[in-house]
Structure 1
Amino acid sequence: MINTIIFDLGAVLIDWNPNYLYQKLFADEQERINFLANITTPDWNEEQDAGRSLQEGTELLVAQYPQHEANIRAFYGRWDEMLGNAIDGTVEIFKQLKDSGRYKIYALTNWSAETFPVAFARYDFLSWFDGIVVSGTEKMRKPAPEFYRLLLNRYQVKAAEALFIDDNLRNILAAEKQGIASVHFISPHQLKDALLSRGII
């Protein structure tokens, strides 16, 4: 019996994309693609999600790639320009789950502790959660098993009674290893179908 829903945030409820910023900074599309793939990489960004300070992460890259200093500093200096709209279809599902009164609803997110307050102030629905566990605050991130267990223990959630929703298959597989049933998010429509098939909505 599922009584707890755990959402990822980025690409599930919030449209976050570095291209929103870097399309303004690069005239050449291939240069932009190369910069994001090889310099401000997802792996580098995830170290800030895991608790490394934005300043330390930035200075590390500037030292490695001084010729790209201005664009590297823009990553966090203009980070808010990477935030897009809420993903309305998922927010509607969240509201339906919340309004049902049947579930505790939490967020488990890989997000820098320094940038998360910007998002929290922008998206009203983030205040609907019964609790939010932010990787940068906890100094650990998905897919580390202890990060999932931290949420379970903090909020007295039984793994067998929870459902986890994330767009990253790596994170889904890690949750399932902890005994948490999961939905690999593709789209709001696909998520709604998955929840209907489980009798959750």
Structure 2
Amino acid sequence: MTEIRHIVFDIGKVLLHYDPSLPFNRLIPDETERQWFFDHVCTSDWNIEQDRGRTWEEAEALLIDTHPDHAENIRNFRRHWHEMVPHAYDDSVVLMERLIDDGRDVTMLTNFAGDTFREAQERFAFLKRPRGVTVSADIRLLKPDRAIYDHHVKSFGLEPAATLFIDDSQKNVDGAKEAGWQAVLFTDPATLKRDLTNLGVIA
């Protein structure tokens, strides 16, 4: 196995907590109605297209045309996005910053809408510490598409075999491996620390 010289972090559910239900627990108190809204209106498939670069204005207009009775809560998805990301995973951040402080080459690769990522960077200063980031919306590519991994390699001058990717999604981990990277599935900071130790990244 090639020695790891580059470490690439995902962001959502690795460094930052993300849960779109948080504001909607208040906005749509009825659990059945709230679940219907996420299953049929503001679905995961709808939301991922903002990560691919579709604007919120386009996204909202599309849904409001189909579900005019839910217009207010459709707009509430972006309006209350900050509540969906209430805190960082401090122990994960400590690990990432330790790698940076040790002189390791650390970058980030994330499926994220452009404007919400910029908002997150202002709220969580540690997101500005790595050498750089590939944001899916900025290049209109999504994990686990092979092209986004290749784009990141080219952008930051990485050697795939010497690159370790950390992501909470198995399909994204598999996508990295198919692109020639090393990769580990994030479940919790303690497991990540053990993985990094076993791989010789940290002592």
Q: Same fold (TM over 0.5)?
A: yes
**Which string of whole-angstrom CA distances, capped at 9 and with x for unpartnered residues, describes residues 55-76 of structure 1?**
1011111111112111111001
**Partner residue, 1:115:** 116
Large movers: runs of 4+ above 2 Å: none
**Partner residue, 1:133:** 134
**Partner residue, 2:38:** 36
**Which string of whole-angstrom CA distances, capped at 9 and with x for unpartnered residues, describes residues 66-93 of structure 1?**
1211111100122112111010110011
How far apart are residue 16 of structure 1 and its match? 1.5
Equivalenced residues, count: 200
Summarize the alignment of residues 61-76 of structure 1 with structure 2, pairs less than 5 Å apart. Answer: 61-76=63-78
CA–CA distance in structure 2, aligned partners of residues 106 and 184 of structure 1 = 17
Counterpart contact for 1:2–1:161, Cα < 8 Å: yes
| TM, length-normalised to structure 1 | 0.97
**Which string of whole-angstrom CA distances, capped at 9 and with x for unpartnered residues, describes residues 107-148 of structure 1?**
001011121111010001011110111011111111111111
Summarize the alignment of residues 18-37 of structure 1 with structure 2, pairs less than 5 Å apart. Answer: 18-37=20-39
Summarize the alignment of residues 1-201 of structure 1 with structure 2, pairs less than 5 Å apart. Answer: 1-101=3-103, 103-201=104-202
Counterpart contact for 1:54–1:114, Cα < 8 Å: no
- Unaligned stretches of 5+ in structure 2? none
How far apart are residue 27 of structure 1 and its match? 1.4
RMSD value, Cα = 0.9
CA–CA distance in structure 2, aligned partners of residues 168 and 120 of structure 1 = 22
Identity of aligned residues (%): 37
Secondary structure class of the residue paired with 2:11: coil
